[in-house]
Amino acid sequence: MAPQELFVVLHLPHDIKFTRKQLLQLDSEAFKGFVNVFIEAIKVEIKNYRVIFNSFYELEPEYAHHYREVMNRKGWHIGPVSLCNKNTKDKSERGKKSAIDEHEYLKWLESKAPDSVVYVSFGTIVKVTRSQFYEIVVGLEACNQDFIWVIKNEHDRWLP
């Protein structure tokens, strides 16, 4: 296959086309890293109850149906969270100040009903921009659901 020749990604509701040139080189470290992350993500997805999607059924019904019926997986379609309030100052003033230690968090968790707090963590590999970070915060708060979000230390400077 020539680098510019299109090929179709199989087993999806629509024809998604790429050229080899658009993809990572198969022998590159970046590709090997991507494959390892992808495999780990699939393992986690399979053993968890549901996956959260930044989309909604009416926007992508074929993919929601494919995920549920063909792949036999469950998901919550809660998006699009990126369309929330765009005012950066407003976003930065959301949430409560994080000035309590882990014992206070555990005490808070124990005061909640079982299965009523959402745990959010993107792991140590995912990198988000400042604007993506704030969009996620806005989306989580808009759900009106108690949550704990574990964030890498490098983002501490962004937290209100």
Domain range list for the chain: 84-160
Alpha-carbon separation of residue 100 from 3, 59, 69, 154 (angstroms) = 54, 40, 44, 19
Claim: this prediction has a pTM higher than 0.95: no
- pLDDT above 50 (res 150): yes
Give the tens place of pLDDT for each residue, 62-116. Answer: 989 998 999 888 888 887 665 555 554 554 444 444 445 667 778 888 999 988 8
CATH architecture of 84-160: 3-Layer(aba) Sandwich (3.40)
Residue 65 CB contacts under 8 Å (≥ 6 apart), including other chains: 13
Tokens encoding 93:
């003033």
